[in-house]
Structure 1
């Protein structure tokens, strides 16, 4: 088997977005030239020079011609360099004195923008949490976090949890600063759908009212926050929330593409057993993890181990593999596993790995940082990547 060169029969494939730079194929592959038998090289480089497996056709040996004028040319070159150095010295001094001031460094600008975004997000989250929890006695507390006027607050605040920033968007800079629009996501305890909320009677006595069944609902709120840069870089940003939180729709769901792991790898195969042993060492503390890693791969186990056992239920591969692989054969793998907690309860998790063969056995060469997805090929109606 030719490892990564095995494609789907009868289909055009686009370049995979999950191709790992550490395992590139030879540059000749894209040009239609000969392909290295080992595209999963561990040094991250294509072989230098011709591949010995594909010798050139009767290429004549290179001819070496001696040249007797080398020392004379070297002497002339040193003389020219010395004259150039003497002439360029005054020119460099003039350029240093007359050159225009350099513009701001891009990295510094990016860092400042990140700091402003973080300051805006922090104020938006703080205001949103305080506003949701507030009752009518907390009017001064809410007012301390925003420039907006507070007219009405409820008799009882809400119960919330798990606040996070969904998005941060910068507006156009102005003389007063830059306004950032921050969207905050919060879990809010609300009555379950179909249940009624007891209404407080005219006398205010609700002792006989039953408590509603509450469920957690994810809600989103938008807050405009003004950020002013300080004159002194060592000073903090000036921050002001310009309005109260506004409930807005949450992010819409994306059309998820299918995952591109079309080959089935049996969990009882050599590769399947290597994957199960690796995951057991990774999250269950079962054995030494380096036994299952390709040389040069550094993956540390999770400590202390959060699970007591791992059971692999399925493995999908990007390429076909065998129990008798050649060195350098490889595949990306999507592994579904059942993890057992210390209390005996089980949960399902999925890992994306890269497997590469060496000395007749399968080793893990990395936890993939991307997942392979099927991508439609323009004008073909086909999908998928190799």
Structure 2
């Protein structure tokens, strides 16, 4: 049976004496989410009697805000499902049909990892309340909460109809004592058709994805003034509203300037390409450039931006696309 999250709780004045929940029974109470409290702040509300929460641990979980991170502001669904203990778990991921469910599982996992890594001894019961039945609940947390940085939900891979594995990243900002760090954790999660959700185990630390030898071809600096003048004028019109877009773009493109113009001044300090620019271009020839833009706001703040801009020859170089890839076009005369 899953250890699940109820739809609402009652105050101790309304709560009925605890009763043992039978297998397959449904608990249909709904929960109104309280405001999230600091991990160091001790909850002063009276204990909440509930057959499966062990009172204080659900109240603490609700106060922490973990329950609400994966369900938004809607009403939580609750149900209990008996999982076949003898069934074999498939190892190959299956196609996830419900993107909303994937996001909900990812958010739950991030909240659980946040609570587990940053929690203190006072949170041990509320963590146990979010675990599925049958999971080893021997949990030992520090006496004081731990500052762990930013927790971000990652990919939720669905193993079978009820089982997920979620990758969660934890980013710790640099301090005077240590440089910034990045950690990757995984959490198994189970769900059922009623919307119930629980952690099927404790988080595990895994190796962060390696960058390996991935690289892009940076290309060479462009010295052709016709190319550099065109992309510079285009960047000024596109981001700063200086000049018109239409005279700088190919006739069959639908590129519009960013409005309202986000920057007061724009310069292009670098234009690069991995192609050889023809000395005598023919109609339809395409050159893909990688440009660096230095953009300054009206308040004086400056930032660096990067764009991949395709130019097509038609008596002159014209912008034919702002391309999402830096890969070199393979066919002249065709826009990719």
Report TM bin, short chain.
0.5 to 0.7
Give the 5 Å matches for 1:40-55.
Answer: none
Residue 119 of structure 2 corresponds to which residue in structure 1? 134
Picking from 291, 316, 320, the partner of 2:272 is 316
TM value normalised by structure 1: 0.52
Residue 249 of structure 2 corresponds to which residue in structure 1? 293
The answer on whether the counterparts of 1:116 and 1:227 sit within 8 Å (CA) in structure 2 is no
Give the 5 Å matches for 1:316-335.
Answer: 316-321=272-277, 325-335=281-291
Change (3 A) 1:303 1:128: farther
Q: How much does 1:222 deviate?
A: 0.9
Change (3 A) 1:184 1:336: same
Picking from 211, 221, 225, the partner of 2:189 is 225
Residue 363 of structure 1 corresponds to which residue in structure 2? 318
The answer on whether the counterparts of 1:259 and 1:373 sit within 8 Å (CA) in structure 2 is no
Residue 141 of structure 2 corresponds to which residue in structure 1? 153
Highest relative contact order (Cα 8 Å, sep 6+), 1 or 2? 1
- Tell me, in whole angstroms, the C-alpha distance in 1 between the residues paired with 2:247 and 2:239: 15
Change (3 A) 1:130 1:311: same
Q: How much does 1:354 deviate?
A: 0.9
Q: How much does 1:355 deviate?
A: 0.4
Q: How much does 1:275 deviate?
A: 0.5
Q: How much does 1:253 deviate?
A: 1.6
Q: How much does 1:258 deviate?
A: 4.0
What stretches of structure 2 of length at least 5 have no aligned partner?
1-93, 330-336
- Tell me, in whole angstroms, the C-alpha distance in 2 between the residues paired with 1:253 and 1:151: 34
Picking from 251, 254, 258, the partner of 1:302 is 258
Q: How much does 1:364 deviate?
A: 1.1
Rg (Cα) greater in structure: 1
What stretches of structure 1 of length at least 5 have no aligned partner?
1-108, 193-212, 231-235, 375-386
Picking from 144, 155, 164, the partner of 1:180 is 164
TM value normalised by structure 2: 0.59
Number of aligned residues: 233
- Tell me, in whole angstroms, the C-alpha distance in 2 between the residues paired with 1:190 and 1:124: 25
Picking from 209, 223, 226, the partner of 1:266 is 223
Picking from 243, 246, 256, the partner of 2:201 is 243
| SS class of match (1:112) | coil
